[in-house]
Amino acid sequence: MRAVIFERCGDESVLAVKDVPKPACGPRELLVRVTSVSLNPVDYKLRQGMLRFLGRPRLPAITGKDFAGVVEFVGAEMRGYSVGDRVFGSVDSLTGAGACAEYLVITEDRVARTPDGVTDEQASCLCVAAGTALRGLESAGFAAGQSVLITGASGAVGAAAAQIAVRRGAKVTGVCGSNNVEYVRSLGVERVVDYKREDWAAIDSVYDIVFDAAASSSFAVARRRMTAKGVYVNTVPMPGVMLSSAWARVTSRQRCIAFMLDMSHALIEQLGALAREGVLVARVARTVDFEGVADAQRAMAEGKIYGKACVRPPSIASQQPQP
């Protein structure tokens, strides 16, 4: 089968499209024919070796985590799935068996059925981005009626957080660049702050939650714009944020959370339900084939993709109508 692999850590030039063996399906796994993949910043950060504190992927590694597809084979001890079922999920990238491949195997804790009415492309966009948004808000004790400020509100995580918070009755302020003001406003937020024109940290407002989806701020900055028991959530758990989290616990009623997503079947099902209800709708900014993955990852790293970049495997790309 064809896959996008890297044999050493480095920039996007280490990615190559190659033939690799089709994976064997274990008794507690599904063999899935991949129909769509969505890329996430964690993909290029793992490939670059930026997340050594989380671990290094087993090399050679296939890039990508989030996918949607169709079940081709059901392991003998897997229950509740049949050949032909549409499914979506997120692989464990540290195993080296990523999603940018024509086929993958997946365990039951990292997959769920794709709900009717949700396309494969939309389903493939859910797990990491929307999962981070949902669980990140929950980690902050999110409740209806609270005021929430979201940085990076035009990105995949930030937009998902905005959609969830608005739907659940929060008063949401979204921070984004000039080109995305109208998009963020369309998510239903009460106020949009264009960071190129205005510094949200200088605005005379306070928030119950500052959800830093862009990882562009800090607890030290955010706490001045938080309520007495406000919570700052940073979606990139770097050591500095973890130190701030420990410091806040002993010095303040405010909290700092260095959020790290823990994928589960229950979460994936919950995200599917929110997509089916129309709460979560990903903005797909770019769709590429396997050969375009390197360029897409570079554009993501440079902050030039607002929303999701999706990948079509060769067998799916060949089915698309030609211009």
Report the pLDDT value the prediction gives residue 259, as an integer from 0 to 100: 83
- Locate 62 and state its tokens: 């296939």
Mean pLDDT of 137-142: 95
Q: Identify the CATH assignment for 2-125+282-317 out of 3.40.50.300, 3.90.180.10, 3.90.1150.10, 3.50.50.60.
A: 3.90.180.10
Interior/surface letters 62-97, b for 16+ CB within 10 angstroms, e for the rest:
bbbbbbbbbbebbbeebeebeeebbbbbbbebeebb
Domain ranges of the chain: 2-125+282-317, 129-258
More confident site: 212 or 256: 212
Asked if pLDDT for residue 323 goes beyond 50, the answer is no
Tell me the whole-structure pTM to 2 decimals.
Answer: 0.93
Q: Is the dihedral of CA 159, 309, 127, 49 positive or negative?
A: negative
Fold of 129-258: Rossmann fold (3.40.50)
254-278 pLDDT tens trace: 888 888 899 999 999 999 999 999 9
User: In the chain, pLDDT over 70 holds for what percent of residues?
Assistant: 92
Q: What is the three-class DSSP state of 80?
A: coil
